[in-house]
Amino acid sequence: MEQNAENVRKHVRVYFIIFGSLLFLTIVTVAISSLHLSVGPAIAVALAVASIKAFLVAGYFMHLLSERKVIYATLALTALFFVVLMILPVSHFLDPIRILH
């Protein structure tokens, strides 16, 4: 019984650490918004902080760190589709044929 209680305490401690990290990163997000960065760097920093927060939530609260490889493959495929969907609008605006007309 004591081994089980110690295991629960360990998991609860990890959850409190993750909660504190998420709280800190939320404060960082608000602090970054007051820096008045230009649009490009502001988006890059906001996406970086949001990605870290998403990893913490998905990894620990959704238990993806301890799941099988199928979960990782699905996550990688989702990330690939996200990158492709972000590249499509950018490639439209950088299209040399469209710029010439």
Residue 52 has pLDDT above 80, yes or no: yes
DSSP string, 38-78: -HHHHHHHHHHHHHHHHHHIIIIIS-GGGS-HHHHHHHHHH
pLDDT digits (tens, 9 = 90+) for 63-90: 777 777 777 788 899 999 999 999 888 8
Predicted TM-score (pTM) of the model is: 0.62
Looking at the chain, the whole-number percentage of residues with pLDDT higher than 70 is 91
Of residues 65 and 30, more confidence is placed in 30
